[in-house]
Structure 1
Amino acid sequence: MSEILSQADIEALLAQLSTSESSDSDEASDDPLAQLRKRTSYEPYDFRRPDKFSREHLRTLQMVHETFARLAGTNLSAYLRSPIQLEVVELMQTPFEEYLRSLNQSAFVTFTMPPLAGQCVFEMEFSLLFTLVDRLLGGPGKAMHRTTLTDVERPLVIGLAERILIALRGAWEGIMTLEPMAEGLETSPQFVQIAPPGDVVLTILMEARVGEQCGACSVCIPHMVIKPVTAKLSSQKWNATSGRRSSAQTRAALTAQLNEVKTRCSVTLGQCKLKVSEVLNLSPGDVLALQTPVNGLADMYVAGRLKFRGRPATRNKKLAISLIEAIDEE
């Protein structure tokens, strides 16, 4: 039978164990290599996800594409005559195959950014895409539960993408002058081959709001496309260059956007004053004498404001107005 230890024996064993650990610690502290290991901190490097962009690069690219989202929202709002907001949710660098795996039920517009070489991708969820297409065709912006595009819808989607790419050109203006151009449209990620699967790409994830509808979209730019201009991806340089943009360039950009906005024009042939009793007695067939003379000019209003005067006319079997004079507002 084994001997049962007394309380004194247990305390003696614990004291001996504590002394042994203390001596081992002292020996380790005397070892210079052990001290160096203790002081040195490191992070494991994942060779499957190499970092191609520094924190400074990502910070600058974040500012650039926040500007892009704001300009794209403005362009689409003017084009579709509906308030649209785009907001950058996340900007990150990932392998291209990982980017494709994260997408589901989306349309992909491939584009280039001359003078930079290589292809990029603008991706949009079908729910958001059909909301914009419905709005473009005069509808209320209702989402459709489809994952295919008709032959009529495909050029409309390309047109929407081109409007968005105009904003990309404006956002990159502080770094270099780009000429983004849409090249193709795909509805399956397996046909989107802008980079090898393991290559690092810059992914800009965005959220779009169209009225009460909300959807996701993204821009994917391979690292090899941006690599020639990484030296310019400094937040200080970008801010300084942005500040030096001439007012003429800004005015030209705003003018180009405003030129696409449609406005209502109306022509008033004449006016007359009637008593309430006379209005109540009006009936079809009555003739009202207007205050405008027979050879007088009709007023033309643009967005509700008097801008021109002219003579009523006809053209191609339709009513028209021949402008005679412009009205200067003081």
Structure 2
Amino acid sequence: MTVQDREAPVSGESAARVVEAYDFRRPTTLAREHSRILEAGFESFSRQWGTQLTAKVRVKSTVTAESVVMQTYDEYVATLPAATSMVLCAMDGVSAKLVVQFPTPDALGWVARMLGGHGDKSGLERKFTPLEYALIKSLVGEGLEVLHYSLGGLLAGTARVEAIQYNSQFAQAAATTDLMIVVAFTVVVGEAITTASLAIPADALLPQLGAVNPMASIANAAELVRAQVAEVPIDVAVRLEPTGVTPVEVLNLAVGDTLVLPHPEHQPFHVAVGGKNLAQAMVVRKGSRAAARIVTSLTEETLP
């Protein structure tokens, strides 16, 4: 254990010096590479969370990630108002809870909009009714799904809503010295602007951050690129033989018109990727959905 000192802003001739304890065995700052990775992930989460809020509250909403820091749980709680909504979420394999925090009046405003009312609940501090609780739980639950999608393999385990606390001093989400990755957000719903925060146990993120260090060896870069390209999703089209029409015919198309296609009735359909035919298939049914069963795979010699 050692100490570090930090000078406070100088006012006139006086200067104050603040000494803080620093434990090198448990550093509370993120490596620059890790910060970049997390910032990119949470920016993606912000955009998708804003889209989700827009769909839920039926008014244009945006979410912006303002900062990503690592703090102890005690330091995080000290930054929160005493009266607020803290959604505690249990995580697989981690004893500490993930926390989603937002002001209670704003959450009540979101619920009011979801039920068709107006969202102005300024100054209203109370516990959620059973209906409000269910709606907030559903809203946060869907947000956790977006979080997992945005962070991908960075977030170990799944999170689920466990409880909602209304006093930050009484919420026991983690031990006071447990490290948390804390993200601050600005949330705009209609004309209302508020702040929210997300605190994720560091143990759920830091091990995976080491595995995605961008300073990894590039000796097998070609293999890595090929493996990544092989996993990229592409669009596959099942189509009939095309026909040619004039622009006038296209502009004059109306409901009930018939386009004659040169595709024989009993010939299989074409399976194409990027406009290139790769196989032939018959249309079949898979449960309640239509599907294509490959009947011929075109080799390089038979490709058109």
Q: TM-score range by the shorter chain?
A: 0.5 to 0.7
Contact 1:110–1:184, Cα closer than 8 Å, also in 2? yes
Contact 1:207–1:216, Cα closer than 8 Å, also in 2? yes
Partner of 1:98: 75
Contact 1:83–1:210, Cα closer than 8 Å, also in 2? yes
Partner of 1:311: none
- CA drift of 1:130 comes to 1.7
Kindly provide the amino acid, as one letter, of the partner of residue 182 in structure 1: V
- Pair 1:217–1:248, CA change in 2 (3 A): farther
Kindly provide the amino acid, as one letter, of the partner of residue 87 in structure 2: V
TM-score, length of structure 2 as denominator length? 0.59
- Pair 1:244–1:53, CA change in 2 (3 A): farther
Distance in 2 of aligned mates of 1:242 and 1:103:
42
- CA drift of 1:233 comes to 4.3
Contact 1:61–1:233, Cα closer than 8 Å, also in 2? no
Distance in 1 of aligned mates of 2:36 and 2:142:
26
Distance in 2 of aligned mates of 1:91 and 1:151:
33
Kindly provide the amino acid, as one letter, of the partner of residue 63 in structure 1: A
Residues 201-230 of structure 1 show CA distances to partners (whole Å, capped at 9, x for unaligned) of: 111000000010011111001222323323
- CA drift of 1:172 comes to 1.4
Contact 1:207–1:217, Cα closer than 8 Å, also in 2? yes
Q: Report which of the two structures shows the higher radius of gyration computed on alpha carbons.
A: 1
Relative to its length, the structure with more helix (as a share) is: 1
Contact 2:84–2:101, Cα closer than 8 Å, also in 1? yes
Relative to its length, the structure with more strand (as a share) is: 2
Which residues of 2 match residues 101-250 of structure 1 at below 5 A?
A: 101-104=78-81, 105-114=83-92, 118-149=96-127, 150-173=129-152, 175=154, 178-234=157-213, 246-247=232-233
Contact 2:90–2:159, Cα closer than 8 Å, also in 1? yes
Distance in 2 of aligned mates of 1:65 and 1:191:
27
- Pair 1:245–1:162, CA change in 2 (3 A): farther
Distance in 2 of aligned mates of 1:220 and 1:243:
34
Contact 1:52–1:200, Cα closer than 8 Å, also in 2? no
Contact 1:203–1:218, Cα closer than 8 Å, also in 2? yes
- CA drift of 1:234 comes to 3.2
Distance in 2 of aligned mates of 1:116 and 1:197:
15
Could you tell which deviates more after superposition, 123-132 or 201-210? 123-132
Contact 2:43–2:64, Cα closer than 8 Å, also in 1? yes
Stretches of structure 1 that go unaligned for 5 or more consecutive residues are 1-42, 250-330
Kindly provide the amino acid, as one letter, of the partner of residue 148 in structure 1: R
Contact 1:203–1:219, Cα closer than 8 Å, also in 2? yes
2:162 is paired with a residue of what secondary structure?
Answer: strand
Number of residue pairs the alignment of both structures matches: 206
Stretches of structure 2 that go unaligned for 5 or more consecutive residues are 6-19, 217-224, 236-304
Kindly provide the amino acid, as one letter, of the partner of residue 56 in structure 2: Y
Distance in 1 of aligned mates of 2:234 and 2:39:
26
- Pair 1:174–1:229, CA change in 2 (3 A): closer
1:56 is paired with a residue of what secondary structure?
Answer: helix
Fraction of identical pairs, as percent: 23
Distance in 2 of aligned mates of 1:225 and 1:74:
26
CA RMSD of aligned residues (A): 3.1
Match of 2:66 among 78, 89, 103: 89
Distance in 1 of aligned mates of 2:72 and 2:137:
26
2:169 is paired with a residue of what secondary structure?
Answer: helix
Kindly provide the amino acid, as one letter, of the partner of residue 119 in structure 1: K
Residues 163-195 of structure 1 show CA distances to partners (whole Å, capped at 9, x for unaligned) of: 211210111125467533111111111332222
Distance in 2 of aligned mates of 1:97 and 1:118:
13
Residues 86-117 of structure 1 show CA distances to partners (whole Å, capped at 9, x for unaligned) of: 00011111221111011113101111344666
- CA drift of 1:242 comes to 9.3
- CA drift of 1:123 comes to 0.4
Distance in 2 of aligned mates of 1:248 and 1:123:
38
1:173 is paired with a residue of what secondary structure?
Answer: helix
